[in-house]
A and B are shown apart, each in its own frame.
Chain A
Amino acid sequence: MTPGFLESYFGAFHRIEGWFSPDAALMFMAYNEVMAAHGIAGDVLEIGVHHGLSAVALGAMRGDGARLLAIDLFEQLQDQNVPGSGNGNHAHFMQNMADFFGDTAFVQCIAAPSNTLGPADLGEAFSFCHIDGGHTARETCEDLDLCSRILLPGGLVALDDYFNPAFPGVCEGAIKFWLGHDGVLIPIAAGFNKVLFQKAPAPFDLHQAFSQRFPYVLHKTTTLWETPIRSFSSFAAFVDTRASSPRGLVPNGSFRVDAVLTLDSAEMTAPGGGSIRVPVRVVNRSTIPFAAGISDAPFGLSYHLLSGDGRDMQFNNARSYFWQPLAPDEERIVDMTVDVPDVQGDYQVEPDIVWEGITWLKNRGLEAPRLRLTVT
């Protein structure tokens, strides 16, 4: 797998039908890379391949000499597609695999409901599984059970649509599995409509190994199944896709998240208790857009409240989100809503850009001018 593969793969997302993103592919590949570095590299499996958009990524993540197993109802069994969560097509799938891999001898297609299959049919040497098949609670639980039995210890399983309100059954099935098989699968990461789990026992500390290998990928932390996990809202921004391959991601050396904030006025006076709007000129000096319309980690303009002599009073305050994206090097006047304290006196208001759950730009070196606010 050479550099250039990822560029051509991501370039094909426009023509291959499916619900998958380059960010999700890179998250899969990053964790797979960590696993491979610790000797966990075997067969890969996808349940619900549709036209192969995500299966191409999985095929590229398989171990040397290993297989990609593709389980789908394909066109001949669609009458069994209970929730209507995809519509596999064998010819399209194989053509897309051939376009990227040429020789597709490593691909084994199984046209069957996944709940009719077991380790005897599939083997037990899988390092990565992706569940994107039936989206009912029963199907999800059964697919997690199947994957937990065929994965190598420490292997990973990715589950689609856990947080999709159109398919509540996925979350229900996953939690049913958790409650019935506590400790079998350990949640690891979430992002881009996927949740990653690791089969226990984990042979090494995956979070620590990930941090060592990908310190440049920003994330936040949340809790799933009473376990801390990493939550990603951007991956492609941190990776140089031209220089990377599916088994070796290279950091995007030019990645930068920064801004220039300026105020028209350095001083304002307002009565206590209400709110005022302060226009702030925002210049995006990042390599990514400031946006809020798609991500669960939106960018917004906010501020920190300080006392008149500069002591911190309230770090978290109201946000003005970038519902319309601000592209790199573009600028815009944004109205910052400031809640005026009830108590009379002098205050300072320090504008800042927040990337929700990930960072404040102040913490990455942003220096913004402060507004002196006098409350009467």
Chain B
Amino acid sequence: MDAGNLRNCFDRMDALQGWFFQDAALLFMAYSQLVADQGVRGNTLEIGVYHGKSATVVASLRAESGTFTAIDVFDGLHARDGSSHAVGLEGAFLANMATSFPSLGWMKLIAASSSTVSAEALGPQSFCHIDGLHSAEGTFNDMQLCAEVVVPGGLVALDDYFNPRFPGVSEGALLFERLHPRVLTPVAVGFNKVIFQRAAESDLNQRFARQFDFIPANVTTMWGRSVALFESAIVPGVDLDRSTPHRLVARPGSTVVMRAAIEPGVAAVSATRGQALTIPVRVVNRTTVDFGWGMGLSYHVYSSDGRLIEFNNPRSYFDPVIAPGAEQQINLGVVAPEAEGAYTLELDVVWEGITWFKDKGNPTSTVNLTVN
């Protein structure tokens, strides 16, 4: 991750197992860049590294002379799966880190539960990523540890706060806030992460808006404070070929022309009421940006006489990414209306939180649907 541009780094990152996406990586990098501009860049830390997917990013956020510390129980987790597989997670993690960096002399590995690690053993950190135990107690302990080691102005990112599979994360974080009010202040929410700042500066998000005007953000309220809410993809606005983990660069001509060819493989389909079906559709990316995370094919439902019945419908997201000029055969997931009749499906590309391509003048295509 140290060498080369972000596109190469992300190609390597995407090949690794784990739940971490490019948009989250860019969010980390953007906020890390902002605090670094204020002189806060030093050591970085990740609790719960698994195969190292996000660790490659967090490690790249360290200062040139800084360290990266990885805390994980490694084979303890492995044993929890009831496995005796010869390849331990620690081996996989080290191999993946070695693939991403030319040397690892700056890395510290702590193969233990984070609850057994002291702040003194870690030293000061400028960026911490908590992705370890997802229980309330585990989250509380990790928040407490990171709050102790993160320097004033430094950042702590927490995974899965809003994930219904892990309610303990928000409980642990809120218990921490209750016992240590305003030690860590939320500043941003997005891509399954919440970013907190220690001794938060009042204008961090104003600086974000000025520095990264190519990254769309909304605002919500968390812990009584206004925070930035990221609901749409960041990647399309970033020039991955010219950016590095320490410096994000906007894609040239950041006004993206929303154009795609949408060519259904059939003119008409029939279904029973409420039936789930798929329609083959050829999509060609006519823009200058990738069709990636947060972008997908969807449809609007009209009655046979052209009355709009439902604008928002399920998405079929573009995976893998469709590069500019490239095309992909999409199986568009459709759920037939519950009422019998004749309908028209208008196929459209959606960029979540930003726009429907139809609203930007892109031609749509239609498929007739008969519900029996």
Contacts and interface: CB of A to CB of B under 8 A. Distances in A.
Interface of A: 7, 10-11, 13-15, 83, 136-137, 162-169, 171-172, 175-176, 179, 190-191, 222-226, 231, 241, 273, 275, 288-289, 291, 293-294, 296, 305, 312-316, 318, 323-328, 330, 332, 339, 341-343, 357
A374 B85 CA distance: 15
Contacts of B186: 168
Contacts, number: 148
A305 B92 CA distance: 16
B86 to A, nearest CB: 4
B8 interface: no
B296 interface: yes
B229 interface: yes
Interface string B227-255: 10101000000000000000000000000
Nearest to A227: B167
Contacts of A330: 278, 331
Interface of B: 15, 17, 81-87, 91-92, 95, 135-136, 161-168, 170-171, 174-175, 178, 186, 189-190, 218, 220-224, 227, 229, 231, 273-274, 276-278, 296, 301, 309-310, 314-317, 319, 330-331, 333, 337-339
A312 B273 CA distance: 43
A273 B171 CA distance: 39
A168 B316 contact: no
Contacts of B91: 342
B81 A327 contact: no
9 closest cross-chain pairs (CB), A and B:
A11-B338, A325-B333, A323-B319, A168-B222, A314-B85, A224-B167, A314-B83, A343-B86, A327-B278
B136 A226 contact: yes
A283 to B, nearest CB: 13
Contacts of B136: 226
A327 B296 CA distance: 17
Label chain B's interface by main secondary structure.
mixed
Given A11-B339, A293-B296, A342 B314 contact: no
Nearest to A237: B276
Nearest to B189: A165
Contacts of A191: 164
A324 B92 CA distance: 29
Contacts of A13: 338
A83 B177 CA distance: 22
B163 A296 contact: yes
A172 B178 CA distance: 11
Given A14-B337, A330-B278, A315 B164 contact: no
Given A223-B168, A231-B164, A328-B276, A293 B83 contact: no
B162 A164 contact: yes
A315 B82 contact: yes
Contacts of A288: 276
Contacts of B81: 314-316
Given A14-B301, A172-B174, A167 B220 contact: yes
B191 to A, nearest CB: 9
A175 to B, nearest CB: 5
A83 B170 contact: no
B338 A324 contact: no
B313 to A, nearest CB: 10
Given A293-B316, A325-B331, A341-B86, A165 B167 contact: no
Contacts of A314: 81, 83, 85
B87 A342 contact: yes
A241 B272 CA distance: 14
